[in-house]
């Protein structure tokens, strides 16, 4: 017999059936979990593939926008797009590409600007007076070859900041090298990147071409007044003189330099975006113009 009959029936057989049912239920639950995991993994991989594919397409669209701006800069008309950071748009493959061209004369040259001007720029970017003053002094020290004679204290401060190489004691070659100066944080650099340069070689920016942060660093200016001025400047016809600044300072001329930076970006409206930053120098050739690229970045700060 398979079980002993009791007052309650064949108990051992019923216990075996109950255990078997539990095993089947656990197996079904495990299979459901596995299938759910596989489905989630497949969906995640599909989303990642679509995102990466969209990013690649957007990057090429941004590059196409940058090349269009470069072509405009070396056209026979000398370029109809103004280098004051205003927004231009192109429609490519049913996507909108945003292009901004910023002449380097409108930025603050970190090799040529005096410490007071740098300090005002850092305050306009959100730093307090004391931190801005220290940072401006650190930049002056880093770019000054003569400061190397008194470099023991500087070397100690750089070592404490995790930079054993110490100060540069020479001019910056690219704006990105500003991040090696003690006191410069990644967040602050991202705010400063559109406003600084090493290619203007001038101690003062040209207000007619300057972005809002640079204008906010000028005497008797702040970011709100600078942004209102830029909005008004965009409406001004470029065959007319730029409007005077709110502080009464002349804006200068629209005519810029031979070095400009293009920021071209594209987005798909679903969270994916790509941008290209190109700094270039226009050169005169027999019978026309050409350009040479000084900096090319993808999804950088600028």
More confident residue, 29 or 189: 189
Residue 56 clears pLDDT 90, i.e. is over it:
no
* Gap between the Cα atoms of 86 and 105, Å rounded: 15
H helix intervals, the chain: 11-73, 115-124, 129-143, 152-160, 186-192, 212-216, 223-235
Q: Which of 190, 181, 146, 140 is nearest to 161 (CA)?
A: 181
For 33-42, what is each residue's pLDDT tens digit?
Answer: 887 777 777 7
Reported as a pLDDT band with limits 50, 70 and 90, residue 1 is very low
For 211-251, what is each residue's pLDDT tens digit?
Answer: 999 999 999 999 999 999 999 999 988 888 899 999 999 99
For 250-289, what is each residue's pLDDT tens digit?
Answer: 999 888 889 999 999 998 877 788 999 999 999 888 877 8
Average pLDDT over residues 159-184: 81
The two structure tokens encoding residue 65 = 């926008």
Question: Burial letters for 230-246: b for 16+ Cβ neighbours within 10 Å, e otherwise?
Answer: beebeebeeeeebeebb
Question: pTM value?
Answer: 0.78
H helix intervals, 148-265: 152-160, 186-192, 212-216, 223-235
Residue 197 clears pLDDT 70, i.e. is over it:
yes
């Amino acid at each position: 017999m398979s079980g002993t009959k009791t007052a309650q029936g064949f108990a051992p057989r019923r216990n075996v059936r109950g255990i078997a049912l539990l095993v089947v239920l656990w197996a079904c639950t495990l299979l459901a979990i596995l299938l759910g995991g596989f489905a989630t993994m497949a969906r995640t991989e599909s989303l990642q593939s679509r995102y990466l594919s969209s990013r690649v397409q957007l990057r090429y669209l941004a590059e196409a926008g940058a090349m269009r701006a470069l072509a405009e800069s070396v056209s026979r008309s000398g370029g109809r797009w103004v280098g004051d950071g205003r927004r231009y748009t192109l429609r490519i493959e049913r996507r909108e590409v945003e292009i901004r061209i910023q002449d380097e004369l409108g930025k603050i040259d970190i090799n040529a600007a005096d410490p007071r001007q740098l300090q005002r720029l850092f305050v306009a970017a959100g730093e307090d007076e004391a931190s801005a003053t220290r940072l401006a002094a650190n930049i002056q020290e880093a770019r000054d070859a003569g400061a190397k004679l008194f470099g023991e204290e500087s070397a100690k401060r750089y070592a404490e900041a995790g930079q054993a190489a110490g100060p540069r004691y020479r001019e910056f070659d690219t704006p990105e090298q500003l991040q090696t100066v003690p006191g410069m944080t990644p967040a602050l650099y991202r705010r400063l990147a559109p406003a600084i340069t090493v290619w203007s070689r001038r101690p003062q920016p040209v207000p007619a071409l300057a972005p809002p942060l640079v204008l906010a660093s000028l005497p008797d200016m702040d970011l709100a007044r600078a942004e209102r001025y830029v909005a008004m400047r965009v409406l001004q016809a470029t065959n007319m003189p730029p409007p005077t600044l709110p502080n009464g300072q002349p804006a200068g001329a629209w005519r810029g330099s031979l070095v400009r930076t293009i920021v071209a970006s594209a987005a798909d409206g679903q969270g994916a975006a790509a941008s290209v930053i190109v700094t270039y120098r226009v050169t005169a050739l027999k019978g026309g113009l050409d350009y040479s690229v000084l900096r090319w970045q993808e999804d950088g700060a600028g």
